[in-house]
Structure 1
Amino acid sequence: MRIPCPYCGERGNAEYAYLGDAGVSRPQTPLGAALEGATLDAWMNYVYLRDNPAGAHRELWYHASGCRAWLIVTRNVSTHEILNVEAANGAIRDGRVGAL
């Protein structure tokens, strides 16, 4: 699989590190606070539960062997077709993904 970096151009996936789902947000309660009821459920869901969709999916990738930029890659997880790549800092600034 080749990922087109917005800064370096198209590169092989061996240059990248995969972080995971770009749509997952940390619960607002600090981890050191008392975790009870809904708060505990929110942390359990954040840590252990992930969707496994077929089709288009937004993911966080880190260009470790290149420009060291965080990227949001939208790809079809069934075919590995890359649909879109954008810099994560722009998406964070615009509120389309949580802070890294």
Structure 2
Amino acid sequence: MLIPHPILGPRDAQEFTYLGDARLIDRPDPARPDAEAAICDYVYLRDNPAGVHRELWFHEQGDRSWLLITRNTVTHEILHAELARDFALARKGNSE
């Protein structure tokens, strides 16, 4: 599988480490009243969908960047790839 790195172009998936669901970007606030349960869910509960899914990938054997990839888990077709940093900064800018 080739991953379309936004800076380096197409890269072999073997250069990357898969982290999992892109919702891991949204860590629960430890000051919440239900923080213990929220953090437990965050760490241990993951969806395993069939179809289009957003995932985090780490370019371990390359520039060490984190990518947010939209991929069809059935066909392995990659629909979109962006730097996780750019996604997080854009979201932060929209919340201010």
- Shorter-chain TM range is 0.7 to 0.9
**TM-score under structure 2 length normalisation:** 0.84
Bigger relative contact order (CA 8 A; separation at least 6): 1
Match 2:88 to one of 57, 82, 92: 92
1:82 and 2:78 matched? yes
Aligned ranges for residues 1-100 of structure 1 at < 5 Å? 1-24=1-24, 25-29=26-30, 38-95=34-91
Of Structure 1 and Structure 2, the greater helix share is in 2
Percent sequence identity is 49
Output the TM-score relative to the length of structure 1: 0.81
Q: Which runs of 5+ in 1 are unaligned?
A: none
The one-letter code of the counterpart of 1:26 is R
Distance 1:23 1:44 in 2: 14
Amino acid at match of 2:28: P
Larger Rg over CA atoms: 1
